[in-house]
Structure 1
C-alpha cells in the first residue's frame, strides 16, 4: 500500500506533484493546519505530514497520529513542532535548513546596507515631501569590520558577500575550524575580540541555551561606540531593552532586526527609535526560497517513506539512500544484538556500551546506536523505534556509551553490545557477512557462527555428551523443524551454548519438556524482526 501524506499548509503545486510522481498518495489541504480540531480528527490516516509554520504539531496531534512516521517542515524553524513528543512517539522531524540560506544571507546584507545609509527613514522622509538631505549622513561598509556571530551555512554566505564588499570579516563560532576559516577568508576570533573590534555585528546562530541573549547588556557594553547590529537569525539572541537604551544613548549607532523575542511583534521597545530598521521575519521570504524549501521537503519525505533515507532530521542521524543500502544490514544487526540482550535480561539495566570494530567505525554510529537501543527496549515496549529509543533510554536512566577500535580480529568489522545490571554483565557480538546477512559471532565470550532467524532457541549447559541428542529428540517429539543449529563452548567439559533457528515459535510444552530433562541451565525462546 502506498504511503499517505497530508499537506496541511501552503506548499507549491510542484512540491505536491513530487509526492504523486514518487508514487505517494497525497492529500493537499493547505488551510487544514489552521483548524486544530479537524487536524486531530484526520491525522491518524497519514504516514507523513508536510507543513510550514501555520500547522502546530502538538503532543495532542502526535497522540492522535497513530500511523505517522515523519513530519517535514518546509523551512528551517521547527518551533511549531513538539520535538520531545515526536521523538517519544518515534516520529522523525525533518526541516530544510539550506533551501533559504541564500535568501536569508541576502536579507542580512540588505539590512546592513539599509542601516548603514538610513534608507528606510530617508525613504519615509522623502515620501512625506521633505528634502532632508543633510539629515541622513550614512557610513560606507567598504573597509569596515564585520563581526559574524555564527559562521555556519548562512553565516559563511554572508561572509562571502561581505568580502565582496571589501569588508574585513571576523567570525566567532565554536564549531568553526581554522582550516575552514582560512578557506572562507575570515579571521577566527573569540566573542570578546569580535565585540570590541567590529563596526557591524550580524548574528547567524540558532536559539539554544548557550546562544540565548548572547548579545546581553554586558556584551553590548563591550562593543565599540558607533557599532551597528543586524539580526536576521532568531529572536531572543539580543537583550532588546539593553539594545534600546544603547541606541538612545548613541553607543549603538543603528540596528536592523528581522526577528524579535516575541512574534508576531505588534509592539516592541525598539519600534520607532531612530535608525532602527525592522522587518516582519522576512529572511526566507522570496519566491525562490519558498519554492526551494517546498521541493526539498517533498523529496526528503518521499525518500524516507520509500527508501528509509533520512535527510536533515532534527531528532535522528541523517542517512542517505546510498548509506541506507550499505548500513541496512548493520542497522538490522545492531537491533538484533540489542533484542537478544533485551530478551535475556529480566532486571533493570543500568548501562549499555556498544563497541564498533573495523569498517563499522566509518559508518554513522549514531544510527547504529539508536538501532541497538531500540532492539533492547522493544522487549518491554514494542512501540519503541530508532527515533524514540534514545529518549526512552535516557528516561529510564540507562547510561549509553560507545567505544571504537581498529580491526582487531578475523572479521572486517563487528559490533559488540554489553549491558550492565546490578548483578551481572552480559554481552553479545555480531557481524555482517558478504551475503549481507547479520550473524551472531560471540555470546558470553564463546565464539559461534549463528544465522539469525525470526524464531530461535537459546540454551546453556555444561559441555557433556548427549546434549545434541536431547535437543533433537525433544524437537522431534513435538514436531518442531530446525532450520539451523549452532554450538559453542569455552572448552571441553566447561560452559556450552546452543542456538537453534526454527521454522515456527516454540510452544510452552516444548520449553517445559527441555527444562524437565535437567540438562540445561537456561532455556530461552527468542524472536527477532528479520523482515
Structure 2
C-alpha cells in the first residue's frame, strides 16, 4: 500500500505533484491545519504530515497519530511542533533550513533602505495628496557602518549585500573566526559594546535563545550611537521594544524597521504609530521563490523517507540508515553530549574541531557521528541547528573539522575524543558507551573520570586541597540546590582537580556566585543536557 501524506497548510501545487509522481497517496487540505479538533480526528490515517506555520502539532494531535512516521515543516522554524512529544512517539521531525535564506536577507536590506529614506511614511503622505518634500530628509547607506549581530547563513548574505552597497560592515558572532571574517571582507568585533558604539545601522540575524534573548536590552540600547537605525528581521524577543520606543521618542534612535515582534500576530505593539518605524507582518520568507523552494524540498524529503528510509534535515534523528541506527544510537547520543559539553564550556569563537575515533567507534558511520558532535557544540548558540545543517553552519563560520581513526588503544572497546581549538586554548573531552548502552565521560582536560550524563550538572575545577568537597556541598545546600551525586578526578595529588555534580534542578545564579566568591574554584560552570 502506498504511503499516505496529509498537507494541512497552503503548499505549492508543484509540491503536491512531486508526491503524486513519487507514488505517494497525497491528501491536500490546505485549511485543515486551522481546525485542531478535526486534524486530531483524522491524523491517524496518515504516514506523513506536511505543514507550514498555521498547523499546530500538539501532544493531543500526536496521541491520535497512530500511523504517523514523519512531520515536515516547509520552512525553518518548528515552534509549532511539539518535538519532544513527536520524539517519544517515534515520529521524525524535518524542516527545510536553507530554502529562504536569500529572501530573508533581502528583506532586511529592503527594510534598511525603507527606514533610511522614510519610504513608507513618504508614500502614505504622497498618496494623501500632500507634497512634503522637506519633511522626509533621509540618509545614504554608502559609507555608513553596518553592525551585523549574527554572521551565519542569513547574516552572511546581508554582509555580502551591504558591502556591495559600499557600507563598512562590522560583525559580532561568537562563532565567526578571523579567517572567515577576512574572507567575507568584514571586521570581526569581539565585544558587542564596540559594535553598539560604532554602528550607524544595526541588523540582527540570530535565533532566539537564552543567550540572545533581549540582546538589545535597555542597557545595550543606551550604549548605541546617537542617530542609529535598528533592523530586526530575525526573531521577536531580541530587542527590548519598550526601551526602543522610548529612545525613538527621545530621538536617540533615528529609526527602526521590524518584521518580527515579541508577540505575534502583533495586533498591538508599543512601536506601532511611532514616526520612522517601519513594520511588516513577518514577511522575511514571504516571496514566491522561497515558498516554492521550501515546498519542493519538503515533498522530496518526505518522499525519500517514506519510500527509501533516507532521512534528511531531521531535527530529532540522525541521518543514518535503519541498520546503522540500531548499533549507532548510543554512540550518536555520546557524540552529541561531548559536543554539548564543550559547546557550553566555550565562550570564544571556535577555529577548529578535531574528533578522534578509537576502536569500535572508528568502524561506524563517522559522518553521522561528526554531525552529532558538531551539532552538540553549536546548539548552545543556535538551537535550530541539526545534524544535517551543523557542518554547513560550521563551514559558514570558517570552522575546520578534522577526524582521526585509530585501532583499539586502551582499556575501552572504543571511545570518542573531541577537541575544540580557539585562539587562546584547546579544550578536550572523551567518552565511551558501556555495555548498559549509557554514554559516559571518561576524560576531561586529560584527567580520567567516570561520569554519566545527567540533565542538570555542575562542572568545577580547583586545586586538589582538603575541604573542597565539603565546601561545595555546604554552599549548594545553603543556596537551596540539592546535590544528587558527584564524580571526582584529579591530574595528580595536589594538582588540578575536577568535579562533576549531579543536581535535581538547574543551578541558580546565586549559588554560582557563592561558589565563585570563595576563590577556591577556578571554574564554576552549570551544564544542561537533553536526556532522552
TM interval, shorter chain, is 0.5 to 0.7
Q: Distance in 1 between matches of 2:323 and 2:83?
A: 28
Q: Residue 137 of structure 1: SS of its match in structure 2?
A: coil
User: Does residue 286 in structure 1 map to residue 256 in structure 2?
Assistant: no
Q: Distance in 2 between matches of 1:206 and 1:337?
A: 28
CA gap 1:366/1:66 in 2 versus in 1, 3 angstroms: farther
Q: Distance in 1 between matches of 2:370 and 2:173?
A: 24
User: Does residue 419 in structure 1 map to residue 434 in structure 2?
Assistant: yes
Matching residue of 1:258: 259
Q: Kindly report which structure 2 residues correspond to 1:316-331, keeping only aligned pairs within 5 A, or say none.
A: 316-317=317-318, 319=319, 324=320, 329-331=323-325
Q: 2:358–2:406: 8 Å Cα contact kept in structure 1?
A: no
Q: Distance in 1 between matches of 2:261 and 2:438?
A: 52
**C-alpha deviations, 1:278-299, integer Å up to 9, x for none?**
1111111111111111111111
Matching residue of 1:109: 109
Matching residue of 1:62: 62
Q: 2:330–2:439: 8 Å Cα contact kept in structure 1?
A: no
Tell me the TM-score normalised to structure 1 length: 0.65
Q: Kindly report which structure 2 residues correspond to 1:145-184, keeping only aligned pairs within 5 A, or say none.
A: 145-184=145-184
User: Unaligned stretches of 5+ in structure 1?
Assistant: 339-352, 370-386, 388-403, 428-531
User: Unaligned stretches of 5+ in structure 2?
Assistant: 333-356, 374-385, 387-402, 416-431, 441-532
Matching residue of 2:12: 12
User: Does residue 362 in structure 1 map to residue 362 in structure 2?
Assistant: no
Matching residue of 2:141: 141
Q: Residue 159 of structure 1: SS of its match in structure 2?
A: helix
**C-alpha deviations, 1:288-317, integer Å up to 9, x for none?**
111111111111111222223222222233
Matching residue of 1:333: 327
Matching residue of 2:405: 406
CA gap 1:356/1:230 in 2 versus in 1, 3 angstroms: farther
Q: 1:2–1:25: 8 Å Cα contact kept in structure 2?
A: yes
Q: 2:148–2:155: 8 Å Cα contact kept in structure 1?
A: yes
**C-alpha deviations, 1:228-247, integer Å up to 9, x for none?**
00001111111000000010
Q: Residue 246 of structure 1: SS of its match in structure 2?
A: helix
CA gap 1:273/1:355 in 2 versus in 1, 3 angstroms: farther
Larger radius of gyration: 1
Q: Residue 364 of structure 1: SS of its match in structure 2?
A: helix
Q: Kindly report which structure 2 residues correspond to 1:81-92, keeping only aligned pairs within 5 A, or say none.
A: 81-92=81-92
Q: Distance in 1 between matches of 2:261 and 2:326?
A: 45
Q: 1:356–1:405: 8 Å Cα contact kept in structure 2?
A: no
Matching residue of 2:516: none
Q: 1:354–1:418: 8 Å Cα contact kept in structure 2?
A: no
Q: 2:74–2:297: 8 Å Cα contact kept in structure 1?
A: yes
CA gap 1:367/1:179 in 2 versus in 1, 3 angstroms: closer
Matching residue of 1:33: 33
Q: Distance in 1 between matches of 2:408 and 2:434?
A: 22
Q: Residue 230 of structure 2: SS of its match in structure 1?
A: strand
Q: Distance in 1 between matches of 2:219 and 2:158?
A: 26
Q: What is the Cα deviation at residue 331 of structure 1?
A: 3.3
Q: What is the Cα deviation at residue 133 of structure 1?
A: 1.0
Q: 1:200–1:229: 8 Å Cα contact kept in structure 2?
A: yes
Q: Distance in 2 between matches of 1:425 and 1:17?
A: 44
Q: What is the Cα deviation at residue 407 of structure 1?
A: 1.4
Q: Residue 301 of structure 1: SS of its match in structure 2?
A: helix
Two-structure CA RMSD over aligned residues (Å): 2.9
CA gap 1:409/1:36 in 2 versus in 1, 3 angstroms: closer
Q: What is the Cα deviation at residue 425 of structure 1?
A: 11
Matching residue of 1:231: 232
Q: Distance in 1 between matches of 2:197 and 2:359?
A: 47
Matching residue of 1:312: 313
CA gap 1:425/1:141 in 2 versus in 1, 3 angstroms: closer
CA gap 1:356/1:143 in 2 versus in 1, 3 angstroms: farther
CA gap 1:137/1:294 in 2 versus in 1, 3 angstroms: same
Q: 1:154–1:204: 8 Å Cα contact kept in structure 2?
A: yes
Q: Distance in 1 between matches of 2:270 and 2:435?
A: 56
Q: Kindly report which structure 2 residues correspond to 1:117-136, keeping only aligned pairs within 5 A, or say none.
A: 117-136=117-136
Q: What is the Cα deviation at residue 180 of structure 1?
A: 2.0
Q: Distance in 2 between matches of 1:167 and 1:108?
A: 14
Q: What is the Cα deviation at residue 337 of structure 1?
A: 9.8
Q: 1:334–1:368: 8 Å Cα contact kept in structure 2?
A: no
Q: Distance in 1 between matches of 2:438 and 2:304?
A: 40
Q: Distance in 2 between matches of 1:145 and 1:337?
A: 46
Q: Distance in 2 between matches of 1:308 and 1:297?
A: 15
Q: What is the Cα deviation at residue 363 of structure 1?
A: 2.4
Q: Residue 107 of structure 1: SS of its match in structure 2?
A: helix
Q: Distance in 2 between matches of 1:79 and 1:328?
A: 27
Q: 2:359–2:408: 8 Å Cα contact kept in structure 1?
A: no
Q: Residue 255 of structure 2: SS of its match in structure 1?
A: strand
Q: Residue 17 of structure 1: SS of its match in structure 2?
A: helix
